[in-house]
Amino acid sequence: MQEKTGVGELPPPPEESKAHGRERLLVCLGPSLLSLRLIRTTHRLAAAQGAKWFALYVETPSHERLPPEKSEIVSQAFRLATQLGAQVVKVSGFRIGNEILTFARENQVTKIFVGKPLKGRWRRLFGGSLVDHLIWNCNAIDISVISGEGEGEGEKITAAPARSKISIALRGYALAFGGVGVCTAVAGVLFFYLSFTSLVMLYLLTVVVVSSSLSRGPAIFSACASVAVFTFFFVPEYWSFKIANPEYAITVIVMLVVSTLISELTARIRYQARVARRQEQQTAALYDMSQHLGATDSHHTLLEAAVEHIARIFDGHVTIILPAADGDLQVAAGASLPDDVREAMVARWVYRYGHTAGAGTGTLSAVRGIYVPLLAMETPVGVLRLELSQPEHLLAADALPLLEALARQLGLAMERDKLCREAREAQLEIEAERMRNTLLSSVSHDLKTPLTVIAGSASSLLEGENALDAATKTELAHTIYDEAKRLDRLVHNLLEMSRLQSGQIRLNKEWHVLEEVIGNALHQLEPQLQGHPVKINLPADYPLVNIDALLIERVLINLLDNAMKYTPSGTSIEISGRLQDQEAVLEVADAGPGLPSGNEERIFEKFFQSAPGSSRGVGLGLSICRSIIEVHGGRIWVANRPESGATFSFTLPLEEGAPSLDQDLPEIKDNQGYEASHSSH
């Protein structure tokens, strides 16, 4: 399906008018070929005047009795008006003229275009015409009447109905006649027991039942037949249509009027109920479609959900065709395309020009499928193909707009999904760039500081080898060693965070006594803890925990190192523990200034520092702590102490099957690679 131009290429559709001025034009559509001429005429005038224009079709109860060729004309008029840039509107009502004028006034229409009436002179004299009604009631709106020059000869719906429709109509009249007959039989039995008024009510009840069950024709027939039968059998003089008493004549006349009104109003209510039900179904279809599309989390799932939903609504086979990277159209979801070159040509045409085509549309209809463009911001992003399960049955005139609305909804969902993916990718790139910049700025300072100290101390040792005493040399050597360890901790934290984020870390879980894990962590930080006395408060019956001891040591080292950095020298650090809800809880509390309000969660983010420009570390230690604890299935949080300082707490789940304390437990190996991280609060 390569999109190329060349010999045999399908022609483009008529161009749309995009200019909108102060003028507002309205063209009235009907089941006649004259509607197509009206649309083109209105389009030319709207384009010349730069006016916005509407195409209005009023659906009356007679619309349901239109033959297929008339319904197809209505569909063609809808599509042509849409292609030429009109705002197509369909309303339901009983009086076409009133609906047209109401719409025109609500939308500030300045000129109405309507076809020349084709009714005979006598019919116009007694029944009036649409043009006459519009002219007498239009007020300040201009009415333009256009003759179709023979195009509208099919205005009168005189096509012979199919045999099935005739049989259905005859069945309705037969049922109406039967209902009147049953009512007459019942009235004959009750004639001597009921009053004259009660018999009238019995026939009115029959009219209501027939009108609520059958169509308009049988309903009116039942009303007239009821009055005639009642007059013949139950009004004196009996067995004749002669009425002896004038009061009876008034009763019969009122009965006729009331029966006719009942049948007419009941027919209108049934029609309005059908229209409301159809509109409700279309609204429900659009809502369900939006719900299905909104619940998907991937592009493929989005397309599959749309295919399934549209196929269920229209009882057909749905195919979604999207452009590939090389520009060629290919099936992305749904059924495969038939092996027919015409199908591919129509798909390319619809994708290029963004207009509906295919079977039953009047445009490139020599194919089996209906092709609808998937539009996003008025730009085609793909094509939706629908092939009905029974291709001989054309899509109903009111079903095609629903299909186009669903296709537009799918196109917008695809565009939204694309924009979301692009936004996520852009956000990831921004975040990665921000992290790189933060890492470079932080690491460069933290690397530069120990390297400068190491270089300065080593230079002093070299230059003053003979002048320096032994104590000074020892102090410089310790300085070099401490700064080298600091540099090693920084590099190790960076590597550890990289491992945690990539998912390469694997837990080596064994049963351990937490007192020993805490002791190993304190042993590794013994030189740094000289100015901070540590208090340990653990319950005597603290159980064994199944953990990776080296990683938990890293958590404790980072928390202790964090406490030392942000608390004054001489303040104490307290390590305590307790049992809570099948979890072991460990807490590291300091006596420092505490956390700024609002940083309780952000403090565990990578590279976060509550004091901007701080030179106390990169900000990875606490983030590493959270990752390690979450890998173990626990939680970590921080809170300010009531008096002063902050308390870092984390949990470790207690598992079943712990060995007793008198059994041999695995030895905890001291690993100098697990050192403190630079973080802040």
pLDDT digits (tens, 9 = 90+) for 648-667: 999 999 888 777 665 544 44
Closest-CA residue to 535 (of 555, 554, 560): 560
In-domain check, residue 658: no
Tell whether 78 and 36 lie within a shared domain: yes
User: For position 433, which CATH number holds?
Assistant: 1.10.287.130
* Dihedral sign computed on CA atoms, order 581, 582, 583, 589: positive
Model pLDDT, residue 179:
85
Which tokens hold the place of 585?
A: 């809880």
Tell whether 467 and 507 lie within a shared domain: no
Tell whether 519 and 615 lie within a shared domain: yes
Model pLDDT, residue 17:
43
Q: Give the integer Cα–Cα distance in Å for 357 and 359.
A: 7
Tell whether 508 and 648 lie within a shared domain: yes
Residue where a domain terminates, one of 259, 274, 289: 274
Tell whether 609 and 523 lie within a shared domain: yes
Model pLDDT, residue 154:
38
Euclidean distance between the first and the last CA atom of the chain, given in angstroms as a whole number: 61
User: For position 531, which CATH number holds?
Assistant: 3.30.565.10
Closest-CA residue to 26 (of 124, 180, 143, 166): 143
In-domain check, residue 17: no
- Of the pLDDT bands very low, low, confident and very high (cuts 50, 70, 90), residue 112 is very high
Residue given tokens 């749904």 in the structure block: 334
3-state per-residue secondary structure call for 261-280: HHHHHHHHHHHHHHHHHHHH
Model pLDDT, residue 649:
93
Tell whether 633 and 524 lie within a shared domain: yes
Q: Give the integer Cα–Cα distance in Å for 347 and 172.
A: 45
Q: Give the integer Cα–Cα distance in Å for 123 and 114.
A: 19
> What's the gap between Cα 539 and its chain centre?
55
The helix (H) or strand (E) run that includes residue 371 is strand 370-376
Tell whether 398 and 441 lie within a shared domain: no
Model pLDDT, residue 148:
59
Which tokens hold the place of 580?
A: 């809570």
- Of the pLDDT bands very low, low, confident and very high (cuts 50, 70, 90), residue 494 is low
The count of domains in the chain is: 5
Residue where a domain terminates, one of 497, 523, 549: 497
- Helix 246-294 with 299-314: angle, nearest 10 deg: 160
Q: What DSSP designation does 63 have?
A: G
Which tokens hold the place of 670?
A: 């001291």
| Inter-residue contact 570 to 531 (CB < 8 Å) | yes
Q: Give the integer Cα–Cα distance in Å for 367 and 398.
A: 21
Q: What is the pLDDT of residues 418-436, one digit of tens each?
A: 888 888 888 878 876 776 6
| Inter-residue contact 157 to 62 (CB < 8 Å) | yes
Residue given tokens 């300085």 in the structure block: 479
Q: 319 - beta bridge partners?
A: 334, 385
Peptide bond into 153 cis (omega under 30): no
In-domain check, residue 622: yes
Tell whether 28 and 132 lie within a shared domain: yes
In-domain check, residue 473: yes
Closest-CA residue to 333 (of 303, 370, 308): 303
Q: Is the pLDDT of residue 271 over 80?
A: no
**pLDDT, average across residues 521-527:** 84
168-197 as b/e, with b when 16 or more CB fall inside 10 Å?
ebeebbeebbebbeebbeebeeeeeebeee
Cα→Cα distances 516→318, 410, 616, 668, Å: 67, 61, 29, 8
SS3 60: coil
Helices (H) and strands (E) in the chain, counts: 16, 17
Model pLDDT, residue 334:
86
Tell whether 509 and 629 lie within a shared domain: yes
> What's the gap between Cα 571 and its chain centre?
57
Q: Give the integer Cα–Cα distance in Å for 237 and 244.
A: 6
Q: Give the integer Cα–Cα distance in Å for 439 and 607.
A: 8
Q: Is the pLDDT of residue 102 over 80?
A: yes
Segments forming the whole domain that contains residue 558: 503-653
3-state per-residue secondary structure call for 495-537: HHHHHHHHCCCCCCCEEECHHHHHHHHHHHCCCHHHHCCEEEE
* Top-confidence residue, 665 or 511: 511
User: For position 356, which CATH number holds?
Assistant: 3.30.450.40
Query: Taking the CB of residue 524, how many other CB atoms lie within 10 A of it?
Result: 23
In-domain check, residue 640: yes
Model pLDDT, residue 614:
47
In-domain check, residue 516: yes
The helix (H) or strand (E) run that includes residue 25 is strand 24-28
> What's the gap between Cα 601 and its chain centre?
32
Residue 272, amino acid: Q
In-domain check, residue 666: no
Model pLDDT, residue 302:
85
The helix (H) or strand (E) run that includes residue 414 is helix 399-463
Tell whether 541 and 634 lie within a shared domain: yes
Residue where a domain terminates, one of 124, 155, 186: 155
In-domain check, residue 283: no
Q: What is the pLDDT of residues 554-602, one digit of tens each?
A: 889 888 988 888 888 888 899 999 988 889 999 999 988 888 777 777 7
State the pairing for strand pair 24-28/52-59: parallel
Tell whether 306 and 345 lie within a shared domain: yes
Model pLDDT, residue 436:
64
* Top-confidence residue, 665 or 385: 385
Q: What is the pLDDT of residues 186-218, one digit of tens each?
A: 888 888 888 877 888 888 888 888 877 777 778
Q: Give the integer Cα–Cα distance in Å for 597 and 590.
A: 17
Tell whether 584 and 475 lie within a shared domain: no
